[in-house]
Structure 1
Amino acid sequence: MYDLINNIPAAGSIINALAIVLGSTIGLIIKRRIPERITMVAFQVIGLFILTLGVQMTMQGKNILIMMLSVLLGAIVGEALELEERLQNGLKGLRTNMINRGFQFGEDHLVEGFLTAFLLFCMGSMAILGAFEEGIGKPPKLLLIKSMMDLVSSIALASTLGVGVLFSAIPLLLYQGGITLGTICLNDFISNTLIDDITAVGGILLLGLGLSLLNIKHFKVFNMIPSLLFVIVFSLFL
Structure 2
Amino acid sequence: MLLLGSLVNGLAIVFGSLAGSILRNISQQTKDTVTKGIGLGVIVLGIQMAFKTSSFIIVLISLCLGAMLGEWFKIEDRMNQFGLYLEKRFAKKNSNFAEGFVTASLIFLIGSMGIIGAIESGVSLNHQTLFTKSVMDGFMSIMLTATLGVGVLFSAVPVFLYQGLIAILASVIVRYIPKELLDMLMIEISAIGGLMIFAIGLNITEMAKIRVSNYLPGLLILIGIVAVQYFYF
Distance change (3 Å), C-alpha of 1:28 and 1:105? farther
Report what 1:158 is aligned to.
145
- Please tell me the residue identity of whatever aligns with 2:198: L
Structure 2 Cα separation of the partners of residues 199 and 213 of structure 1 = 20
Identity %: 36
Alpha-carbon distance between aligned partners in 2 of 1:84 and 1:63, rounded to the nearest angstrom: 27
Q: What's 1:181 paired with? A: 168
Match of residue 92 from structure 1 = 84
Q: Which residue of 2 aligns with 1:219?
A: 210
Q: Does 1:133 align with 2:158?
A: no
Which consecutive aligned stretches of 4+ in structure 1 deviate over 3 angstroms post-superposition?
A: none
Distance in 2 of aligned mates of 1:45 and 1:105: 28
Question: Which of the numbers 200, 204, 207 marks the counterpart of 2:191?
Answer: 200
Question: Quick one: which amino acid aligns to residue 128 of structure 2?
Answer: K
TM-score with structure 2 length normalisation? Answer: 0.88
- The whole-number CA distance in structure 2 between the counterparts of 1:39 and 1:146 is 23
Q: Secondary structure at the match of 2:207?
A: coil
RMSD of equivalent CA atoms: 1.9
Q: Give the aligned length.
A: 225
**Displacement of 1:125 after TM fit?**
3.2
- The question of whether the paired residues in 2 share the 8 Å contact of 1:124 and 1:202 is answered with yes
Deviation at 1:106, TM superposition (A): 6.3
User: Residue 24 of structure 1 contacts residue 158 of structure 1 at CA under 8 Å; is this kept in 2?
Assistant: yes
CA distance in 1, matches of 2:185, 2:54: 9
* 1:3 aligned residue: none
Q: 12, 20, 35: which one pairs with 2:13? A: 20
Aligned equivalents of 2:13 and 2:78: distance in 1?
24
> Per the alignment, do residues 128 and 149 of structure 1 end up closer, same or farther by CA in structure 2, a change over 3 Å counting?
same
Identify the residue that residue 80 of structure 1 maps to in structure 2.
72
Task: Report whether the alignment pairs 1:120 with 2:112.
Answer: no
Consecutive unaligned residues of structure 1, counting only runs of 5 or more, are 1-5
Asked if the contact 2:35–2:143 (Cα under 8 Å) also holds between the matched residues in 1, the reply is no
Distance 1:111 1:196 in 2: 31
Q: What CA deviation, in whole Å up to 9, does each residue of 1:59-98 have, x standing for no partner?
A: 1112212211211111001101111112112211211111
2-side partners of 1:44 and 1:106: how far apart?
A: 23
TM-score with structure 1 setting the length = 0.86
* TM-aligned CA distance change 1:111 to 1:53, over 3 Å: farther
Amino acid at match of 1:181: I
Q: Residues of 2 paired with 1:164 and 1:52: CA distance?
A: 25
AA at the equivalent of 2:200: L
* Higher relative helix content: 2
